[in-house]
Amino acid sequence: MQALENLPLSVLDWVALVWFLFCWLGYSRYANTHEKSLMTVMARWRDRWAMAMLKRDNRIMDSQVIMGLSGVVTFFCSTSLFITAGLFAAIAASEEIVALLNQLSFVIKTEVSVVELKLALMIVIFIYAFFKFAWSMMQHSYSAVILASVSNDDAEKSEQDEAVAKLMSRLSTLGAQHFNDGVRSYYYALSVISWFIHPLVFILVISWVILVLYRRDFYSKMVKHLRKTIGE
């Protein structure tokens, strides 16, 4: 607490930081649970995928879908590690960064401790993203195991197979949810860059980011087509 009190942050900086955390945590919860969000609509499509999978004797296509999803998540997972390492290197060069920022006329004057705090916030965001991507990758791999556990023999198909197929759908949906949380973290981390300019700019940018995410999750053309085709 003493270290935080010694930081030369203005009241506006603290307001911007609180607003950022509120937007991040609040919107993530809202978008992941709302019945008309992209996440919820895709959960219904995954249920349809699971039921269609039961009718196929050859499930190579289904396994390839899961492998494709895992591949994208793996890319973001490793990228998050590289970015985090780069930000740690940036902290080591914080004095040079401060000297550069203080030469820019459109950037508010700053100090080393403040720059280190902002870089540390970005590190926390990308570490959070890494954990989200890693957990998403594991959930997709678990859904592949569940896919393989469903029998190909029509005589053995039962209500239990339908329950297993729905479980695969739920695990895939959970993996997608954590993947989306990780991708949103990239949006939030990029918005932190605007904090180096001015806290008011930071507040405006994070608000704009939330509006962009909201439109894409609820009112984009893709969401409208997905809802219409699924019968909503």
- pLDDT, residue 2, reads 43
Closest listed residue to residue 191, CA positions, set 218, 222, 213, 220 = 213
Q: Is the pTM of this model over 0.95?
A: no
Cα torsion angle, 6, 11, 15, 17, sign: negative
- pLDDT, residue 1, reads 46
Check whether 58 has a pLDDT greater than 70: yes
Check whether 31 has a pLDDT greater than 70: yes
Please report where in the chains the tokens 């895709």 appear, as a residue.
Answer: 42
Quick: pLDDT tens for 87-135. 999 999 988 888 888 888 888 888 888 898 999 999 999 999 999 999 9
